[in-house]
């Protein structure tokens, strides 16, 4: 991969990480207070109308799910960033083949190529 391309992916990853980290911090701050209030303030998440009719427990579970997802993504982003430094960015963890650029553009922290990802999902579906 070209230097400029790596630079662009690094920028995408850093921006995504900042956004996720601030979402996580925001949610954690407000979860400590009142989950209904927190949901109302998360304007970019489709929680607002659910807060009106949904139960507080449902909302809490939803927030915990989003938090766990975000934290897992931040983890993957950190791995991707260190892979850029190591020169192994864009390589599938399982089969070592190159991950296509279109896949990386859609998911810059992808750790598996499309083929391995699909195989993994098929396996999960069979469980
Ligand atoms: Zn693979």
pLDDT of residue 30: 76
Distance, CA of 112 to CA of 64 (rounded, Å): 26
Q: How far is the CA of 22 from the centre of ligand 1 (A)?
A: 32
Tokens in use for 37? 């209030």
Q: How far is the CA of 86 from the centre of ligand 1 (A)?
A: 19
Q: How far is the CA of 34 from the centre of ligand 1 (A)?
A: 43
Q: What is the pLDDT of residues 33-85, one digit of tens each?
A: 665 554 555 545 555 555 555 677 888 888 889 999 999 999 999 999 999 99
Q: What is the pTM of this model?
A: 0.75
Tokens in use for 82? 């260190």
Q: How far is the CA of 68 from the centre of ligand 1 (A)?
A: 25
Tokens in use for 78? 């950190």
56-86 and 3-31 helices, crossing angle to 10°: 150
Distance, CA of 4 to CA of 2 (rounded, Å): 5
Q: How far is the CA of 16 from the centre of ligand 1 (A)?
A: 24
Distance, CA of 112 to CA of 6 (rounded, Å): 17
């Amino acid at each position: 991969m070209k230097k400029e391309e790596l630079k662009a992916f690094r920028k995408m990853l850093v921006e995504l990480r900042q956004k996720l980290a601030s979402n996580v911090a925001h949610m954690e701050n407000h979860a400590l207070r009142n989950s209904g209030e927190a949901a109302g303030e998360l304007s970019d998440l489709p929680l607002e109308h659910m807060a009106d009719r949904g139960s507080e427990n449902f909302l809490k579970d939803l927030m915990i799910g989003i938090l766990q997802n975000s934290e897992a993504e931040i983890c993957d982003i950190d791995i991707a960033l260190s892979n850029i430094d190591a020169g192994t960015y864009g390589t599938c963890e399982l089969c070592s083949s190159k991950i296509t650029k279109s896949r990386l553009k859609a998911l810059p922290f992808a750790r598996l190529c499309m083929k391995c990802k699909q195989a993994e999902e098929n396996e999960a579906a069979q469980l």
